[in-house]
Structures are given as structure tokens and as C-alpha cells.
Amino acid sequence: MKLGVFLALAHRLIVHIVQMTRIDFFDYRQSCKLFYSEDPVKIVRARGQYLFDENGKRYLDCISNVQHVGHCHPAITKAAAAQMDVLNTNSRFLHDNIVLYADRLAATLPQKLCVFYFVNSGSEANDLALRLAHQYTQHEDVVVLDHAYHGHLMSLIDISPYKFRKLAGQKEWVHVAPLPDTYRGIYREDHPNPGQAYADTVKDLIEDVHKKGRKISAFFAESLPSVGGQIILPQGYFPKVAEYVRSAGGVFVADEVQTGFGRVGHHFWAFQLQGDDFCPDIVTMGKPMGNGHPLACVATTAEIAGAFTANGVEYFNTFGGTPVSCAVGLAVLDVIVEEDLRGNAVRVGAHLKDLLTKLKARHEIIGDVRGVGLFLGIELVIDREKKTPATEAAAHVVKRLKEEDQICVSTDGPWENVLKFKPPMCFGMENAELVVQCIDRILTDMKASDLKLEKEDI
Ligand SMILES: Cc1ncc(COP(=O)(O)O)c(C=O)c1O
């Protein structure tokens, strides 16, 4: 072989090795994650509650709460395309859509939440909520629930224990209250009044904050903590916490980014589960609002908005509340009503919960079944008494559901042992029955040795 050819081949080999190493290096350090990372799925189209891969294989989607009224709903596509064809400017020009949409949203909320700021994501909404609270109260400190996630901006990582615990840690202005989880938290089902008991933990925290000479700006919580493990909050918790927070001069922020727009069925907003009289000072919303279009919002009171305006600094958001975004938002609200999706969430959610509860009687590994409407969780445990999380078993169920049944389910909770259901709201009775049948088969099938192994691991 001539020297030149040899050198060229050697060079190519070295380049190849460097590239391979770089790919491995990047894979290892990748911060953006795929579902089913060992065997990812390429989805090329979707409709309703179904996803289709490049080979036409159909998957039942139990996790896409963003595509709230169903994937690629024709009414949403039509509304977006029609408005896109006429005008899409920003909210500095007058336009009917933003006014019509704000009116429709206002009709779903308590009267006092009458000012709306339109933004593009749940993170933007929560960041603005922090600013509003800060400006209104002139205080800095924030109380959040353990394991919470409120978004990906720096300000929100700071108030998300789920994230900051893995990073630089807790800032001095952030205070973490126990998650009011009546299944495995500090006060459980057997407590006579867990709502009051958990609210008192916030009261104690506020007193500690005052002792340090600091002041509370806001209490921030999801109306049903999702990353925390599909938690249903005990009755009376929010009203009591709001009382304590307000008497400390702070405001109550309900993060409805995951739970709003009728997911819980009987109520349009999950905070309404805490009683008809309960009203947060600020509500943030996002994901389902635009059915996949980047549309989010902060709703608040005239007093809080007034204090924000008083600083004399303009609030402008280039893509927030454009005519197209608002046309999409209006169409989503129409479909929720026209297709009675809240009624569907009540009926199908109750059926699914009932079937899963029956399954619990047959499988020791199911420690808890909880939920409301189409927001449900099944917590898997190694043994019911100690409630040891069955993390590997949960991952195993998720993998087999995907591989054997083409059903997409994922896990949540601090130990990733809660199978979560937040499907598009058109999820049907037959979908619920199929999922339960498949979970039943997999749990029956799972070798006792798999579980024993996990027990030794933990
Ligand atoms: C409860 C909650 N709040 C806020 C966010 C942030 O929303 P986005 O990803 O649209 O910025 C999320 C996202 O997962 C969320 O679950």
C-alpha cells in the first residue's frame, strides 16, 4: 500500500473513532431526554388519543395532557389556519380575539381573578407570577411544596425542590413545606384532619421565616402535585394555607399548568376541589390551553395587577396573546364544551379508577390508587406496610406496556414508582378497560424474583 493511501485510511479511522467517542460522550451527558431512551419511538402523526409511528403502528397515549382535546383536533387546526391566513400580530394592536378569549377565561374563574397576562409557556407564566407577587407584597420569600416542579427558568429552578436538590441547592429565600401526601407523607389517611395538620406545617414555616427577619411574598403550589406523584391534596388544606400566607402579607399562587381546563372533570380548575369559596390570588396556566400551541397565561386580581403597573415598567411579551394564539385558545374552550370532555373525564376517570382499585385487591404491589377525573396515579410498592417504592417494577410495567401493547404510560413521584395517567380528554371507556387488562396481565406475569431482587437493591 502506498504511504499516501495508508495515511488517508489512518486519518479516516482516527476521525471515525473521534466521532464515535464524541457521540458516546454526548449520549452519556445528554440533558434532553427521550421517552423510552433505550428504544425510542418515532411518532409521525397522531389523532385523538392515538399516536402512529413511521411504520403505521398505533400507540394508545395515556400521557399527553398537552393535547388536551385530542391530538390534531380538526377544529383547532382549522381555527389556527384561518386566523393565520388573516392576521397574526402582537398585542400592541387592538384585536377582538384577545378580548373574547380573556372574557371566556374569566367566566371559568372566580370573579376577582379578572386580569390576564398572556405568555408562551408554563415557565413564563410562573416567572411572571413570582414578579407579580414580589411587586405587590414587596417581600421576597417563597414557600413551596416538597418535590414540586414549576418550570425551567432559573427563577423557577430555585423554587422547584425536584430540580434544585440536584443542583446548587436551596436559596435562603425559598422554604420547603412537606408535601401533603396522605398515602406516604407525615400525616396519612388515618389522621383526623390532615388538611389542617399539613396547613399547620406551613404556618410553622412562616413563623420560622419571621424569626429570621424575613417576609413571605408567596406560597406556590400545584393544585394537584403531579411530579410529586399525582397527589390529591386533603380537604381544607388550601383555604387554611391561604389564610396563614395572607396574614403574613403574602399571596397564594395556584399552578394549574398541568391540572387546569377541566382535567379533573366536575371542576374547570383543580383548585376548585378545595371548596367553592376558595380563590387563589394568582393562577398560572399553560400546557392544555393551546392543545400544543404555545399559549399560557397568568390570571390575577386588579389589586395585584395595579401594583405591578405602578412600577411604571411596561410588560411586553412578543408572542403572548397573538390573534392566532387566542383563536386556538377559543377553539379549545369550544371543543371542551361541544364534546362534553369534562363529562367524559368524570365518567371515564371514575371507571378507570374503579377498575384500578379492583386490581389493587388482586395485586399486592399496588399500594395506592388515587386521582380525580383524568388525573390518576397508581403507586407501586414492594410491601404495603413499609410502602417501599417499587421503582424497577414501575419501569418494567411501562416498558412492557409499550413493547407488548403499544400503550404509552410513564412514571412520576420522588421514587418514580407512580404510574401516571393524564391522557387526552377524549380517552374512552374501551381505552380505560384495555389499559387495566394489560396492567393486570403484566403484574400477574411478573416473576416474584424480579420483585425480591428489587427489595434487596433498596
Ligand atoms: C406544574 C408545572 N408548572 C410549570 C411547568 C413549566 O411549563 P413549560 O414546560 O410550559 O414551561 C410545568 C412543566 O412541566 C409543570 O408541570
The two most distant CA atoms of the chain are separated, in Å, by 87
Tell me: do 295 and 347 sit in the same domain: no
Cα-to-centroid distance, 264 and ligand 1 (Å): 18
Nearest atom of ligand 1 to the alpha carbon of 222: 1
Based on the fold, state whether residues 33 and 86 are members of the same structural domain. Answer: no
At residue 16, the pLDDT reads 54
Q: Is the dihedral of CA 97, 100, 104, 107 positive or negative?
A: positive
Structural domain includes residue 54: yes
Same domain, 157 and 281: yes
- Between the CA of 123 and the centroid of ligand 1 the distance, in Å, is 6
Tell me the C-alpha distance between 164 and 55, whole Å: 40
- Residue 192 covered by a domain: yes
pLDDT at residue 167, as a whole number: 86
Query: Is the distance from CB of 116 to CB of 298 less than 8 angstroms?
Result: yes
CA of 257 to the centre of ligand 1 (A): 6
Q: Give the domain CATH number at 117.
A: 3.40.640.10
Residue 182 identity (one-letter amino acid): T
Distance CA 414, CA 227 (A): 8
Q: Is the domain of 365 the same as that of 311?
A: no
Report how far residue 193's alpha carbon sits from residue 453's, in angstroms, rounded to the nearest whole number: 38
The answer to whether residues 291 and 142 belong to one domain is: yes
| Same domain flag for 253 and 134 | yes
270 and 347 fall within a common domain: no
Query: Do 334 and 344 belong to one domain?
Result: no
Residue 230 has phi, psi (to 5 degrees) of 55, 60
* 326 and 426 inside one domain: no
Question: Which residue segment(s) compose the domain that 114 sits in?
Answer: 74-338
Q: Ligand 1 centre and the CA of 285: distance in Å?
A: 9
Residue 306 inside a domain? The answer is yes
In this structure, are 136 and 156 located in the same domain?
yes
Last-in-domain residue among 287, 321, 338: 338
Atom of ligand 1 minimally distant from the CA of 287? 10
Residue nearest to atom 3 of ligand 1 (CA): 150
| 288 plus 346 within the same structural domain | no
Domain count, the chain: 2
Cell numbers of 384, please? 404495603
63 C-alpha to ligand 1 centroid (Å): 14
- Confidence at residue 168, expressed as pLDDT on a 0 to 100 scale: 78
Q: Residue 139 and residue 78: Cα distance in Å, rounded?
A: 45
Q: Do 238 and 346 have their domain in common?
A: no
6, part of any domain:
no
Distance, in Å, from the CA atom of 425 to the CA atom of 133, rounded to the nearest integer, reads 32
Judge whether 55 lies within some domain. Answer: yes
Domain for residue 15, yes or no? no
Pocket test for ligand 1, best of 33, 65, 119, 123 (most atoms within 8 A of CB): 123
Q: For residue 83, report the distance from its CA to the centre of ligand 1, in Å.
A: 27
Distance 99 CA to ligand 1 centre (A): 25
Q: What is the pTM of this model?
A: 0.93
Q: What residues does 376 pair with on adjacent strands? A: 371, 421
The CA distance from 133 to 218, in Å, is: 6
Instruction: With respect to residue 457, please indicate whether it lies within any of the assigned structural domains.
Output: no
Pocket test for ligand 1, best of 130, 149, 162, 319 (most atoms within 8 A of CB): 149
How far away, in angstroms, is 292 Cα from ligand 1 center?
Answer: 13
pLDDT, one tens digit for every residue, the chain (458 residues): 566 656 666 656 655 554 554 445 455 558 899 999 999 999 999 999 999 999 999 999 999 999 999 999 999 999 999 999 999 999 999 999 999 999 999 999 999 999 999 999 999 999 999 999 999 999 999 999 999 999 999 999 999 999 998 887 899 999 999 999 999 999 999 999 999 999 999 999 999 999 999 999 999 999 999 999 999 999 999 999 999 999 999 999 999 999 999 999 999 999 999 999 999 999 999 999 999 999 999 999 999 999 999 989 999 999 999 999 999 999 999 999 999 999 999 999 999 999 999 999 999 999 999 999 999 999 999 999 999 999 999 999 999 999 999 999 999 999 999 999 999 999 999 999 999 999 999 999 986 556 555 554 44
Domain at 418, CATH number: 3.90.1150.10
Indicate which residue's Cα is closest to atom 11 of ligand 1.
123
Taking phi over 0 as left and psi of -120 to 50 as alpha, with beta for the rest, 228 belongs to alpha
Ligand 1 atom showing the smallest separation from residue 259 Cα: 1
**Residue-wise over 286-319: b if at least 16 C-beta within 10 A, else e?**
bbbbbbbbbbbbbbbbeebbebbeeeeeeeebeb
Pocket of ligand 1 from Cβ distances under 6 Å? 121-123, 126, 149-152, 222, 226, 255, 257-258, 286
Which one of 257, 412, 420 would you pick to mutate in the ligand 1 pocket, going by the greatest count of ligand atoms within 8 A of its CB?
257
* Domain termination residue (choose one: 338, 361, 389): 338
Q: At what angle do helices 194-211 and 237-247 cross, to 10 degrees?
A: 20
Contacts of 233 (CB under 8 A, 6+ apart): 180, 195, 223, 224, 225, 273, 274
Specify the pLDDT at position 22. 45
From 338, 353, 380, give the residue that closes a domain.
338
**Rounded to an integer, what distance in angstroms lies between the CA atom of residue 458 and that of residue 381?**
12
Q: Say if 21 falls within a structural domain.
A: no
Please report how the helices 302-309 and 122-137 are oriented relative to each other, as an axis angle in degrees rounded to 10: 80
